[in-house]
Amino acid sequence: MQPASTAQAYNYKVVRQFVIATIVWGVVGMAMGVWIASQLVWPEMNLDLPWTTFGRLRPLHTSLVIFGFAGSAQFAASYYAVQRTCQVRLYSDKLAAFTFWGWQSVIVIMLVSLPLGYTTTKEYAEIEFSGAVWMTVVWVAYAIVFFTTVVQRKTQHIYVGN
C-alpha cells in the first residue's frame, strides 16, 4: 500500500467539521442532561415555562446525545476510516459537505421541535415525520458517499483488521 502523496489527497475538512460538531453537541446534550436532572431535585428550574419542563427537555437531551454526539462521531470516524483504508479521497466533496450541513440541520430541527412538543411520542424516535424524512435523505447521501468511495478504492483487498 502506498501512502497518499499529499495532505490534499484526503478530505479532512468534513472529518474535522464532524469532530467539532461531536464535541459541541456532546457538551450541549450533556449540559441539558444536568439541567433536567436538576429539575428532579429543584422543580422550579423549569422556569414555569411549558417548553422548559422535564417532559419536553428529556427527549431533547437523549436526541442530542444520540444523534448530535454519537451520530456526528460516527460520521467523522467512518469518513476518516474509509479514506485511509481505501487510499482514496471521498467520492464527492460537495455531497460529503451536504451530509455535514444536512445532519446539523436535522439536529436543529430536533432542537426547535421537541421543546415545542412536536414529537411522535416514540421513545428515542421522537422527531416528527418531516424531520425523519430529511434525516433519511441525509443518510442516503451518506451511503452514496461511503459506498462509492469503497467502490473506487485503490487497494485490492481490505483487511479485517482495518
Q: Does residue 156 form part of some domain?
A: no
The whole domain housing 18 covers 10-151
Angle (CA) 99-102-108 rounded to 5° is 140
Q: Does residue 159 form part of some domain?
A: no
Q: Does residue 3 form part of some domain?
A: no
Q: Does residue 142 form part of some domain?
A: yes
Q: Does residue 15 form part of some domain?
A: yes
Residues above pLDDT 90, as percent of the chain = 83
Q: Does residue 83 form part of some domain?
A: yes
pLDDT tens readout for residues 47-95? 999 999 999 999 999 999 999 999 999 999 999 999 999 999 999 999 9
pTM over 0.85: yes
Q: Does residue 5 form part of some domain?
A: no
Domain count, the chain: 1
40: pLDDT strictly greater than 60: yes
C-alpha Rg value of the chain to the nearest Å: 19
Residues 149, 86: Cα–Cα separation, whole Å? 8
Q: Which residue has the higher pLDDT, 23 or 47?
A: 23
Q: Does residue 76 form part of some domain?
A: yes
pLDDT value, residue 1: 47
